[in-house]
Amino acid sequence: MTEPFDAVEVIAAKRDKHELDDAQIDWVVDAYTRGVVADEQMSALAMAILLNGMNRREISRWTGAMIDSGERMDFSSLSWRTADKHSTGGVGDKITLPLAPLVAACGIAVPQLSGRGLGHTGGTLDKLEAIPGWRAALTNDEMMAQLEDVGAVICAAGPGLAPADKKLYALRDVTGTVEAIPLIASSIMSKKIAEGTGALVLDVKVGSGAFMKSKGQAQELAETMVSLGHDAGVTTVALLTDMSTPLGLTAGNACEVAESVEVLAGGGPADVVELTVELAREMLAAAGKDDVDPADVLASGGAMDVWKRMIAAQGGDPDAALPTPKETHVVNAPASGTLTRLDALSVGVAAWRLGAGRSRPGEQVQAAAGVVMHAKPGDQVTAGQPLLTLQTDTPERFERAVAALDGGYDIGVGHVDSPSVVIDRIR
């Protein structure tokens, strides 16, 4: 087979700040998936995209080419309308766990394809695997049957969904090109569009514990993804949400599951409840269902019923005891006053070093590892009282976890405002 292009000419075009035409984009994505374009050639192109960017047409075409590299799912046979949510990742971000059953309890099915953590940001599948018996891998038929019966599923994406993205993401991770907004946006949206959901709400995190550190970066990414969704005919909206402080009072695996169950039972930290309800409202509105208030459904216990059915349908025991750590270490407040800052990145790195996350793909995580926070910014603390409890099965990890928290919190005087976790909304 004679190839219509040469990888070098495509790389050179983007290197020299030219637009790639549709045929070049279609070919290079397909050729890379087939192995005709080598890893070193695609890494050079990814770096050129990082440095010189892409316009909306190029990003849309690139996303479409990645979708076309694999299968598309189709939920049109369901008796439910569907909506999905994607978070760009943060610390203590367990929102998917209460959100999926809540939206289903409101009458909209949620086909949530989730991932695992890498580095300081946790993974939804890692958290749910702390539940005895629960399994992440479902066939398409199993997923469809569960959606029809329960209305919610949280599982791993199958190997046939956007295989070009799987290959390219692994390459970007080791070539310093993860930060390229066109490639981030197309990576996320190729999977979500191929998934086939009718509506999509994006939770784009902003702050120290997020991938996007500034509001400007987050807004650019959100606007790009919303445009891609609309170009593909998927009703898409994005919320910019704060990730300067961890969400809730836990960061880890089993401890975040326990906190999610508290939310489903009508309790839980105010910020987790707020964001869960706000995202649910956006998902319901995007799916065309605005006759029910998710706050009322959450208070009624209806979402808890769906949670238990969802976990059981995937082999889990929703009533089983969650794993507990073999060892704990308490970090006490060094002074009395107001906790004025608790840095999300510091807490996330500490949880990661305790064993809650992985430093390379395929590494096992500890179900019981994590950080429990006993205060949030604005709370009064007394010298010597517990501020954080570190949890792990391997106590030799404590030293590096404590080091990650050095400079990660401040205690001072005065009042600290508690702003809304939602910073902005992009339609």
Based on the fold, state whether residues 219 and 367 are members of the same structural domain: no
- The answer to which of 250-254, 265-269, 357-361, 369-373 has the lowest mean pLDDT is 357-361
Number of structural domains found in the chain: 3
Task: Give me the CATH number covering residue 127.
Answer: 3.40.1030.10
Query: Are both 121 and 218 inside the same structural domain?
Result: yes
Confidence of residue 414 (pLDDT cuts 50, 70, 90): confident
415 class by beta-carbon count within 10 Å (0-12 exposed, 13-18 middle, 19+ buried): exposed
Q: Are strands 386-392 and 327-332 parallel, antiparallel or unpaired?
A: antiparallel
**Residue 174: is its pLDDT beyond 90?**
no
- Using the structure block, give the residue that is written with the tokens 């190029």: 58
Three-state DSSP string of 155-176? EECCCCCCHHHHHHHHHHHCCC
Position 364 in a domain: yes
At residue 178 the predicted structure's pLDDT band, cuts being 50, 70 and 90, is confident
**Backbone dihedral angles phi then psi of residue 42, each to the nearest 5 degrees:** -70, -35
Inter-residue contact 146 to 314 (CB < 8 Å): yes
211 shares a domain with 127: yes
Distance CA 127, CA 256 (A): 7
Residue 365 belongs to a domain = yes
Spatial separation of the C-alpha atoms in residues 298 and 237, rounded to whole Å: 22
The H or E element that residue 281 is part of is helix 270-286
Please indicate, yes or no, whether residues 238 and 301 belong to a single structural domain of this protein: yes
Q: Which residues contact 108 (CB under 8 A, 6 or more apart)?
A: 80, 81, 82, 83, 151, 283, 284, 287, 289
Strand partners, 412: 338
Beta strands in 142-217 (DSSP E): 152-156, 199-206
Active site residue ranges = 86, 165, 172, 187, 191
DSSP 23-92: HHHHHHHHHHHHTSS-HHHHHHHHHHHHHH---HHHHHHHHHHHHTTS-----TTSSS-B-EEEE---SS
Average pLDDT score, the chain: 95
| Co-location of 277 and 333 in the same domain | no
The answer to the question of residue 170 being in a domain is no
Task: Report the chain's C-alpha Rg in angstroms.
Answer: 22
**pLDDT, tens digit, 9 for 90 and up, residues 287-307:** 999 899 999 999 999 999 999
Q: Could you read off the pLDDT of 141-158 as tens digits, one per residue? A: 999 999 999 999 999 988
Residue 38: which domain range? Answer: 7-53
Identify whether 64 is part of a domain: no
Q: In this model, does residue 361 exceed pLDDT 70?
A: no
pTM attached to this predicted model: 0.92
Q: Which residue has the higher pLDDT, 119 or 251?
A: 251
**SS3 at position 330:** strand
What is the mean predicted confidence (pLDDT) over 49-57?
96
pLDDT score at 281:
98
Decide if 181 is inside a domain.
no
Establish if 273 belongs to a structural domain.
yes
215 with 277, same domain: the answer is: yes
CATH code of residue 339: 3.90.1170.30
pLDDT for 336-356, tens place per residue? 999 999 999 999 999 999 999
Q: pLDDT tens digits, residue range 88-144?
A: 989 999 999 999 999 999 999 999 998 887 677 888 999 999 999 999 999 999 999
What mean pLDDT comes out for the span 188-213? 93
Examine the domain organization and report whether 209 and 299 are in the same domain: yes
> Residue 329 in contact with residue 389, Cβ under 8 Å?
yes
